[in-house]
Amino acid sequence: MDENTLKDAKVKILVVDDEVDLEQLMLQQMRREIRHGRYTFEFAHNGAEALERLREDNDFDIVLSDINMPVMDGLTMLEQIPDVNPNIRAVMVSAYGDMDNIRTAMNRGAFDFVTKPIDFGDLKVTVERTVENLMLWREALSSRDKLVAVQHELGVAQSMQQNILPHTFPHTENFDVYAHMVAARSVGGDFYDVYDLGNGRLGVVIADVSDKGVPAAMFMMASRTLLKACAFCSTSPSQVLGQVNQMLSENNDAMTFVTLLYGIYDPETRNFTYSNAGHNFPIVVRPGPSVELLESTGGIALGIEGEFPFQEETTTLEPGSMVVMYTDGVSEAEKEDAEMFEMDRFCQIFKENSFESAEQATKAVFDGVKDFVGDSPQSDDITCLVLKIPE
C-alpha cells in the first residue's frame, strides 16, 4: 500500500470503557493526531451503548474496547458487532496476562489487542496496523468484481502477509536484529516477529505455516497474535509454545499447522534460550568464524497435538556471534534442474564472509539464494532473521 495513502487516511474510532477518566487521557495522549485530523474519537461506556452508536453511525472504522464493563461486557459486544457492521475492526483492551479473555476475543473476531495499563506508543502502532489492514480489506472489496477469484485471493493474502510483519528492528549496544521475507507467487504463511520483553530481554520468532493462499494467511495471523500474547506472559519459550499449541489445536479440523522457533536473548547473561516446534534448525555463527547447528529440542509443529510437552535449550552467545533463523524456502530453493540450495551452501555464506550488521548478513542470504536459483521461479516464501551480538 502507498505510504502516503495510509498517512492521509482519516480514522474514526469508538472507544468503549466505563472508566470516565480514560476519555480525557485518550484525548490528551492522541492530541497531535486529533489536531492533524488523523483520528476522530467518540466514546461509549458499555457494550450496549456502543452497539447503539454503531447502529446510528456507520462511519466508524475501529472499535477500541475494554473487556470488563457493566451492562454489556466487551466480549458480548464483540460477538454482535458483525451483525451491525461486519467491516469494523475491533481492538480489545485486556488486563496483562489475561489469556482466557484474549483467546476468547480473538476467537470472536478481534483483530488485535493491547494490555492495561495502556502504553500509548504501543496503542498507536496497533491502531496504525489495524488501519492498514482495514484499508487493504476495503481495497480488496472494491476490486473483487474486477479480479479473477484466484488472483483476488492471492493478492489479499499476500498484502496481509507482508503488511502484518514488522519493518523496523531494534539496534542497541547489546544486540542487532534484522529480518526479511520475500513471498512466493503462490502465497504461503511465513512470518517473523520481534518482542521487547522488558529488562533488556529480546524475543525473536520465525515460522512457516502449512498450506497456501488465504487459509494459510489467516492461520498465520492467528498464530502470530497468540504467540505475541503468550510471549509477554512467560519467560520460558517452551511454556509459550505449549500454550500456543494448545489453543491452535482446538477446533483445527483442517489440520493446518505451523513450524516455529521462538527464542529469548538475555544480554545480562548473553544466554539465548529457545524452543523449536518442528522448524528448521537455526545456525550459530561464532567468531573465527565457525558455524554450528543449534541443538534440537525435539518439538513438533504447532496445531497437531494439543498436549505435547515442549522442551527448551540454552546457548551462550559471545560478542561477535550471530543466530541465523530461516525457513525452508532458503534451504530448499531450487534451480531449474531441481538441484537445491541446501545447508552446505547456506553455511558457506557465513564461513567465507564477515558481517558488520544483522541487515548485511540477512541480505547476503537472499543474494546467495538469488544467485543460485537464477531465473527459476520461486516456489515458496523465503524468510530469514538474524540476531547479532556486537563485538
- Per-position DSSP letters for 242-261, written without gaps between them: HHHHHHHHTT-TT---EEEE
**pLDDT of amino acid 251:** 77
- Per-position DSSP letters for 317-358, written without gaps between them: --TT-EEEEE-HHHHT-B-TT--B-HHHHHHHHHHH---SSH
**pLDDT of amino acid 31:** 93
Residue 147 scores a pLDDT above 50: no
The superfamily CATH assigns to domain 3-138 is: Response regulator (3.40.50.2300)
Task: State the average pLDDT over residues 116-132.
Answer: 90
Question: What are 330's three cell numbers?
Answer: 532458503
Distance (Å, rounded) from C-alpha 14 to C-alpha 362? 41
Q: Bigger pLDDT: 370 or 4?
A: 370
Residues of the chain with CATH 3.40.50.2300: 3-138
Least confident of 62-66, 97-101, 205-209: 97-101
Task: State the average pLDDT over residues 368-389.
Answer: 91
Residue 294 scores a pLDDT above 80: yes
Q: Is 33 helix (H, G, I), strand (E, B) or coil?
A: helix
What is 166-388's CATH topology? Answer: Phosphatase 2c; domain 1 (3.60.40)
Q: Bigger pLDDT: 96 or 242?
A: 242
Task: State the average pLDDT over residues 35-44.
Answer: 93
Residue 332, CA distances (Å) to 343, 345, 346 in order: 9, 11, 10
Q: Encode pLDDT of 187-245 as tens digits.
A: 557 889 999 998 999 999 999 988 766 677 778 888 888 898 889 888 999 999 999 99
Confidence of residue 158 (pLDDT cuts 50, 70, 90): low
Do residues 308 and 275 lie in contact, with contact meaning Cβ atoms separated by under 8 Å? no
**pLDDT of amino acid 8:** 66
**222: alpha, beta or left? (left if phi > 0; alpha if psi -120 to 50):** alpha
Task: State the average pLDDT over residues 303-319.
Answer: 94
Pick the most confident of 104-113, 140-149, 209-218. Answer: 104-113
What percentage of the chain exceeds 90 in pLDDT? 61
**pLDDT of amino acid 345:** 95
Task: State the average pLDDT over residues 280-308.
Answer: 93
Distance (Å, rounded) from C-alpha 116 to C-alpha 22? 12
Task: State the average pLDDT over residues 3-9.
Answer: 56
Do residues 203 and 231 lie in contact, with contact meaning Cβ atoms separated by under 8 Å? yes
**pLDDT of amino acid 140:** 64
Residues of the chain with CATH 3.60.40.10: 166-388
**pLDDT of amino acid 368:** 95
Task: State the average pLDDT over residues 171-178.
Answer: 96
Task: State the average pLDDT over residues 154-158.
Answer: 59
| Residue given cell 479480479 in the structure block | 147
Do residues 291 and 283 lie in contact, with contact meaning Cβ atoms separated by under 8 Å? yes
Do residues 298 and 311 lie in contact, with contact meaning Cβ atoms separated by under 8 Å? yes
Do residues 125 and 145 lie in contact, with contact meaning Cβ atoms separated by under 8 Å? no
Q: Bigger pLDDT: 219 or 319?
A: 319
Task: State the average pLDDT over residues 348-366.
Answer: 96
What's the helix, strand, coil split of the chain in %, to 5?
40, 25, 35
Residue 248 scores a pLDDT above 50: yes
Distance (Å, rounded) from C-alpha 361 to C-alpha 358? 5
Burial degree of 156 (CB within 10 A; 0-12, 13-18, 19+):
buried
